[in-house]
Structure 1
């Protein structure tokens, strides 16, 4: 990257203060770890199982950044990162390591991800110099009609829909893992799930993140018998920091999957337990919580298929940016925003001018996202038009360089920039702004992201989720995992007959914001990244890319920088992290008319990203959050 002027680096100068304002708390060795180094070679041998190569025998310190050789991994949790490194050191590849990490996170980070949910895995195959996406997004049950989301002619209240059987999509995670390993891995489920089984069974100490997440779910966990039994103490309250949390039911479930493969999840006792929990949610006797039943059937689970899809891509200032396509809107929206920004010489601008254009590009891209994007098996979305550089040229002048907007942007006409510009009469018409109620994901800081590479150069950028923090709140009795509430990602028009590309239909996958990203420069890997955070995932990835590519920030600084998010709000306002609101850049943007709300997310945070940076000398830097969600974990296979 070229050197940038000091004022560009000053744009994110607040990040240094932010990273120091709340140091990672020192937790017991069986928690998420203590501040320390991220070199896997530093982990002591012996102890635990007695195996000389047991990285879990005595946990190393928690470090958000590590540089070294061989493979690398970054996740929100020390044990998840260790599981990936362990697989790499034993000869597995990046796909094997990513699944191993995800399995462990299903135990240690159960409110964000797990086998009751789904995700998108973006894989760079070094031998073929190719990027592919594995879509294991949840699907609407075959008997779920749009009318189920209405009562008395009006949409069911969002909060009531979240905690219900109606919000549960057919889980895709296990089939996604199986498909990824079968096609691109070197190990099987039996191999990669062993550490997850051990962690779930042996347990770990509750840390601040786990305690806070339990507390935010307390009311509904107290009302659901299986969730109360697993997550709450004998007093019906959240287990305190330092208490040991064990999940033997999840360990047994993992064993069934390890032995029987994905079929053990989608058929047999696990599938039957999922269906029972959806059809008859296990409500505590006397509870006043209205947990509506869903309509999932055994056949929905048996018929679920993961999809292997080509990655979408765009070029940006000499970089090739790869992402996942529909049914995720993330890659397309990031790419469109980058195309819009490419027409500005950001290197010559002040920090306030750069941020003003970043917010404007995001606003326009989100207008198109809301109008056109949905499951490609149900919607004829104008993807080629949205990714067209000519389309970005035509839209760019709508970014007012003098002042901030005070209303939402209207969608454009990307169909005119496709080979066949005619939209489908039924599905191709843009939705009018505000014609459908999207999910309220401004407050969703959950989901999790795993970034892994191996010594052969393969890379995995993997976002997995159960949707809202704690999913739908229902633990599958006897099996130790929470169900998702992904179907709240569908739009629900106030008029049930109103068309929209993202309305619920049987078998349809709800539109996602997950944005796993892999960036190449001169045909070689440069960075890989993504984040949780509902629709702020898209703006988080976009802001990190602008910080890294345009402002010349090192990847750890670009990732740690205070965030702002513009998602085409009706009043033109943007969300901002608390750390940003007091910055000079915020004052400059306010002078242009920008209005900010303190991000309605956990602790005022937006996202919890992880990333990898690949260097010309063959080393790799792994990066996790230094502060958000109490800090993440980055490790490398061996020291430089």
Structure 2
């Protein structure tokens, strides 16, 4: 299970398909690892990573490159992220040694109530809620870019978005992942005129090897940059977005029941990105910083690390390491569901969830020879009791697994870990007519009804409220300097993916590339003791029988996460690492190799 995989993964280098015609776009290679100087960029897409590197090469800083890369991902990875969505931006300033965050999470419209996804007293089917105007939250991604550049960047919005605008105009080579994502969503994409026309030309997804262009998105990027986002947050683009939410462009004759949303232009006009204090956990003498509520990434990763702090993971067997990783995940997820929501609407006990005292009362529940019962109840961090959960039932709530993450470092030592999303693969399925971008379905991250009837819950819908997220962009410092930064897509599996990578790298002495590539399992306090895991994890005959003997059971999950990260070597060089296989593999870049 923990064998070295670098020898295999370093050979995964994909180039533009031979079918690309003369004069068509060309794809930079996909490379899972590069080491060198001058800065680093890692993302899921080679065009996007190359755009980020070009910004660094021209003298831009990590924030400039992160925004440029994110804008490019809105072109090449539009089914995971884009200007119709939101995200969380974590930034390390090398000059001050300070970690800061920007909360660009989508918000519910002012008309939303706790009955947003309830009809006739019954919660809507999840799939029907996803593909609807009801699910669309007010986008925060464009304002996140703007605020990050104003606070820490050296470029303006127009300069940072220009390379992505050009990419959208000239086009890029369609790979298998892009084609498959459209095919996966073809039925619902075909039910919206604007989405059908953009992504199903001639009724089929664009062919692998063909060039895909999105001049509508290029024009939208130019308009947003020209108006400093005024056209979106109160202007013409915003009015068109609101119309798409209120009157989804359903194909005449479609039998799909697409419910209308109630977003108003005033919801866009009042949207604000929030600057929040990062979560902070000490682990093995290192400082681990993450994203606070409404994301649950920072508190849940941090609590799990604190639970594991009392075990010498470096010197236990592979079976015991993975057993304790799974059990710590289970317990921290129990507390996540009970306590984390939008801090503007309910008190989130962040300090308590991240206290070592609280973690120790949870860690003592873990036994080496048996698994915990399922699901585990939450505990009360304000009144911790050793080995006793007192806050009531708590269990996994499934959510979508499509998002994207990018990680950037520059020559001065500044670092960005940025996770952004439109929620499900393809978001709501609604492209804003004439504008070339998909709208999110982020509001389905709310609980549709309270998990325990009659008990207040922090993650029910509400006017202007931000739904809880699992995004976990993470930066680790060693004596005030960046050691590594990492993050992943994957819905709630983001948390377990980041936790597994951190423990594999920091405790098990795996290389960052091997930690990113390693087979994954994701225990999220399910109602049974069955843990979703990848096929390669389940097939491991050295470790899995030992886990099964303790009581673990596993079910197949085709793919968990697609992480990216950067790491600072002792000699000052940057190591950029991207997913070598999942989602077709990512693209790691440094400015100067060697």
TM range, smaller chain: over 0.9
Of residues 594, 618, 626, the one that matches 2:580 is 626
**Alignment partners' CA distance in 1, 2:25 and 2:60:** 20
Alpha-carbon distance change, 92 to 190 in structure 1, aligned in 2, over 3 angstroms: same
Indicate the residue corresponding to 2:17 in structure 1.
Answer: 28
Counterpart residue number, 2:288: 321
Match runs of 1:151-170 below 5 Å? 151-170=119-138
1:525 to 482, 489, 511: 482
| Residue pair 2:102, 2:275 contacting (<8 A) in 1 also | yes
**Counterpart secondary structure, 1:547:** helix
Q: Secondary structure of 1:479's match?
A: coil
Q: 1:292 aligns with which of 255, 259, 278?
A: 259
Find the counterpart in structure 2 of residue 596 from structure 1.
554
Q: Is the 8 A contact 2:91 2:414 kept in 1?
A: yes
Comparing 567-576 and 116-125, the one that deviates more: 567-576
Which residue is 1:5 aligned to?
A: none
Offset of 1:25 from its aligned partner?
4.8
CA contact (8 A) 1:30 1:59 kept: no
* Counterpart check, 1:146 vs 2:114: yes
How far did 1:416 drift?
A: 2.2
* 1:72 and 1:85 in contact (8 A); partners too: yes
Please state whether the residue corresponding to 1:265 is helix, strand or coil.
Answer: coil
Which runs of no fewer than 5 residues in structure 2 stay unpaired?
none
Instruction: Report Cα offsets for 1:441-463 as digits up to 9, x if no partner.
Output: 2xx33110010011011000000
Once residues 14 and 255 of structure 2 are traced to their aligned partners in structure 1, the CA distance between those partners, rounded to angstroms, is 38
How far residue 404 of structure 1 moved from its aligned partner, in angstroms, is: 1.8
What displacement does 1:499 show? 2.1
- The match for 1:231 among 199, 224, 241 is 199
2:214 to 222, 247, 261: 247
Please give the alpha-carbon distance, in whole angstroms, between the structure 2 residues aligned to 1:382 and 1:12.
Answer: 35
Shift of 1:616: 1.3
Deviations 1:387-414 (A, max 9, x none): 1111111111111221123411111110
Judged with a 3 Å threshold, the aligned counterparts in structure 2 of structure 1 residues 212 and 529 are, in CA distance, closer, same or farther, namely same
The answer to whether the Cα contact below 8 Å between 2:115 and 2:448 also exists between their aligned partners in 1 is no
Residues 521-568 of structure 1: per-residue CA shift (max 9 Å, x gap): 122110000000000000000000010010001111111100011000
Q: Distance in 2 between matches of 1:24 and 1:469?
A: 25
C-alpha distance in 2 between matches for 1:154 and 1:497:
16
- 1:75-124, CA deviations, whole angstroms, 9 ceiling, x for partnerless residues? 00001101111111111110010000000110000000000000000000
Write out per-residue CA displacement over residues 265-324 of structure 1, whole angstroms, 9 at most, x where no aligned residue. Answer: 212111001100000000011101111000000000000000111111101111111001
Q: Which residue of 1 aligns with 2:76?
A: 108
Cα distance in 2 for residues equivalent to 1:318 and 1:253: 47
Q: How does 1:577-616 map to 2 (within 5 A)?
A: 577-583=534-540, 584-599=542-557, 604-616=558-570
> Structure 1, unaligned stretches of length 5 or more?
1-10, 32-47, 49-55, 419-428
Question: Distance between the aligned counterparts of 1:204 and 1:109, measured in 2?
Answer: 11
Report the equivalent of 2:430. Answer: 474
CA RMSD in angstroms, aligned pairs only: 2.1
- Choose 477-486 or 144-153, whichever is displaced more: 144-153
Residue 243 (structure 1) shift: 2.1
1:492-531 correspondence to structure 2 within 5 Å: 492-493=448-449, 498-531=455-488
Report how far residue 572 of structure 1 moved.
Answer: 2.1
1:210 paired to 2:178: yes
Name 1:573's counterpart in structure 2: 530
Distance 1:412-1:430 versus aligned 2 partners, 3 A rule: closer
- When residues 60 and 295 of structure 1 are mapped into structure 2, their CA distance, relative to the original with a 3 A threshold, is closer
User: Is contact 1:378–1:508 with CA below 8 Å preserved after alignment?
Assistant: yes
The 5 A counterparts of 1:32-181 are 60-181=28-149
Which residue matches 1:6? none
Distance 1:287 1:58 in 2: 37
CA distance in 2, matches of 1:272, 1:540: 38
Show CA shifts across 1:157-197 (max 9, x none): 11100000000000000111111101111111110111111
2:226 match = 259
Number of equivalenced pairs = 587
Q: After superposition, give the CA deviation of every residue in 1:402-436 in whole Å (9 maximum; x if it has no partner).
A: 11234111111101269xxxxxxxxxx956435xx
Report the Cα distance in structure 1 between the residues aligned to 2:368 and 2:476, rounded to whole angstroms: 29
Contact 2:377–2:392 (8 Å) recurs in 1: no
Equivalent-residue separation in structure 2 for 1:30 and 1:104 (angstroms): 23
Q: Could you state the TM-score of these two structures normalised by the residue count of structure 1?
A: 0.89
- What is the alpha-carbon distance in structure 1 between the residues aligned to residue 248 and residue 408 of structure 2? 37
Q: Aligned-pair distance for 1:244?
A: 1.7
Secondary structure at the aligned position of 1:414 is classed as: coil
The residue correspondences of 1:402-551 to structure 2 (distance < 5 A) are 402-416=369-383, 430=391, 432-433=393-394, 438=397, 440-441=398-399, 444-493=400-449, 498-551=455-508
Q: 1:228 to 1:181 in 2, by over 3 A?
A: same
Q: Note the alpha carbon deviations across 1:345-399, whole angstroms, 9 max, x for none.
A: 1122100010000001111000000111101111111111111111111111111
